[in-house]
């Protein structure tokens, strides 16, 4: 959560000057890239925007398999119906207002993995971890799975501290700090300093000054929280609250039950003021599409083999106008194809449907041909969907790389050249 750290303890260092604060944190110039030692020693978390691409790259770098983040532009039922299923959870970004503590659980229930946010700007990682650690079917990867086991008996506060002290999570989160373009592994120092200086200035401003509720609300920062079903109960997981909040038993579609709470928060904004975002964590569509492609390829191959037996020379009777797209080999996939993620192992594991087994024993060539053409049409749609998903993943990589690129060096070089040019003009 940016701009708010009500639970963070600030020591006497908050009274030092800005220059001393910077020098004690990083000895070199703030515009210079942070060294590996600087990055290792920094305990903070950088701010992350509500960009699905950034969350997807975080999931990938965490080692989490089979999960994708998609933005939700509306809570209308028609829009929600297009989300890939299952939907594991929602992440809601909004201007934070403290919830009534009486609505929270007295303690974290057994079976709910919930962590507090105990360090500033870590809410993106906390929201992600609060969701994925509550879905047993998700492959967390070696590092996060070990972390989940290690923190299984921790309180929410201790889990939050563990996240802040877990270098693996911190390094993935801070990979979105501005970086030198020629070395993507070196964080830019300015993002680190901005985060630390913000905390220092807040602490100085608040010291000895009693704040009103209106002031706290007007200056509240933006924050990520999670909604998800766990064991047939709908939960709101807000890392800034001491405990999770149960919103009731899941009756049917849990997304419909989460809508009122989210919409109530949206209604607090003035008309035309868009200060929130909603992201969904869903099963990666490629996990369904590629096996479906494998089944399709295997079925087309089986029908082609049957046609060779029932009607030898059948390929000569296929309309020449559709040979290129349907009967030919120019676009039709009939073998493993890594461009679509299709391997021989997937083809070997693909199970034919009962209808396909029946057709493979059919002696009516026209029926086999008709079904084969249907499958080829379906394959064209599958290939298009897979390409779109892969292009979306590539776009995520590019967006994340652009976010991490440090344009400061280029700007400094530009300003330096302009200064030299101006000085030369004066001398002339």
CB atoms within 10 A of CB 53: 21
CA torsion through residues 302, 306, 312, 318, sign: negative
Helix (H) or strand (E) holding 250: none
Q: Which residues pair with 89 in a beta bridge?
A: 281
Assess contact for 307 and 368: CB atoms under 8 A: yes
Radius of gyration in angstroms for the set of CA atoms belonging to the chain, rounded to a whole number:
28
Query: Angle formed by the axes of helices 52-62 and 365-404, to 10°?
Result: 100
Closest CA to 368 of 381, 355, 380: 355
CB atoms within 10 A of CB 204: 14
Asked about 187 being catalytic, the answer comes back as: no
Asked about 108 being catalytic, the answer comes back as: no
Task: Give the separation between CA 68 and CA 331, rounded to whole angstroms.
Answer: 29
- DSSP type of residue 180: E
CA distances from 61 to 55, 116, 140, 143, 172 (A): 10, 22, 11, 11, 6
For strand 405-406 and strand 87-95, is the pairing parallel, antiparallel, or unpaired? unpaired
Among residues 46, 108, 123, 187, the one annotated as catalytic is 123
Closest CA to 124 of 25, 53, 188, 189: 53
Among residues 108, 173, 187, 223, the one annotated as catalytic is 223
Catalytic site positions: 123, 223
């Amino acid at each position: 959560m940016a701009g708010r750290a009500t639970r963070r303890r600030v020591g006497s260092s908050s009274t030092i000057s800005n220059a001393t604060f910077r020098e004690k944190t990083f000895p070199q110039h703030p515009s210079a890239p942070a060294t590996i030692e600087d990055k290792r020693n920094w305990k903070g978390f950088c701010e992350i925007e509500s960009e699905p691409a950034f969350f997807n790259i975080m999931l990938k770098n965490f080692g989490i398999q089979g999960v994708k983040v998609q933005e939700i532009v509306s809570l209308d039922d028609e829009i929600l119906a297009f989300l890939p299923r299952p939907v594991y959870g929602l992440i809601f970004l909004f201007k934070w207002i403290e919830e009534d503590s009486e609505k929270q659980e007295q303690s974290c229930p057994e079976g709910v993995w919930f962590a507090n946010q105990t360090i500033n700007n870590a809410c993106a990682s906390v929201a992600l971890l609060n969701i994925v650690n509550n879905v047993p079917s998700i492959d967390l990867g070696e590092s996060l799975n070990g972390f989940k086991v290690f923190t299984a008996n921790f309180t929410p506060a201790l889990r939050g501290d563990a996240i802040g002290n877990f270098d693996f999570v911190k390094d993935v989160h801070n990979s979105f700090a501005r970086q030198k373009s020629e070395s993507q592994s070196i964080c830019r120092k300015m993002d680190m300093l901005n985060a630390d200086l913000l905390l220092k200035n807040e602490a100085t401003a608040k010291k000895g000054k009693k704040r009103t509720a209106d002031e706290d609300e007007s200056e509240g920062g933006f924050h990520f929280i999670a909604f998800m079903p766990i064991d047939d109960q709908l939960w709101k997981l807000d890392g800034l609250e001491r405990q999770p909040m149960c919103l009731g038993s899941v009756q049917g579609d849990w997304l419909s039950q989460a809508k009122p709470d989210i919409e109530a928060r949206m209604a607090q904004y003035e008309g035309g003021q868009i200060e929130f975002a909603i992201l969904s964590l869903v099963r990666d569509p490629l996990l369904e599409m590629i096996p479906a492609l494998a089944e399709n390829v295997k079925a087309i191959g089986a029908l082609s083999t049957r046609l060779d037996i029932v009607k030898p020379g059948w390929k000569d009777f296929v309309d020449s106008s559709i040979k290129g797209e349907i009967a030919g080999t120019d676009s039709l996939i009939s073998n493993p194809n890594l461009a679509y993620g299709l391997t021989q192992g997937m083809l070997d594991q693909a199970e034919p449907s009962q209808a396909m087994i029946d057709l493979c024993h059919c002696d009516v060539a026209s029926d086999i041909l008709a079904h084969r053409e249907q499958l080829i049409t379906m394959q064209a749609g599958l290939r298009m969907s897979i390409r779109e998903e892969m292009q979306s993943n590539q776009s995520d990589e590019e967006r994340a790389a652009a976010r991490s690129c440090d344009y400061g060096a280029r700007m400094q070089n530009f300003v330096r050249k302009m200064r030299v040019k101006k000085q030369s003009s004066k001398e002339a």
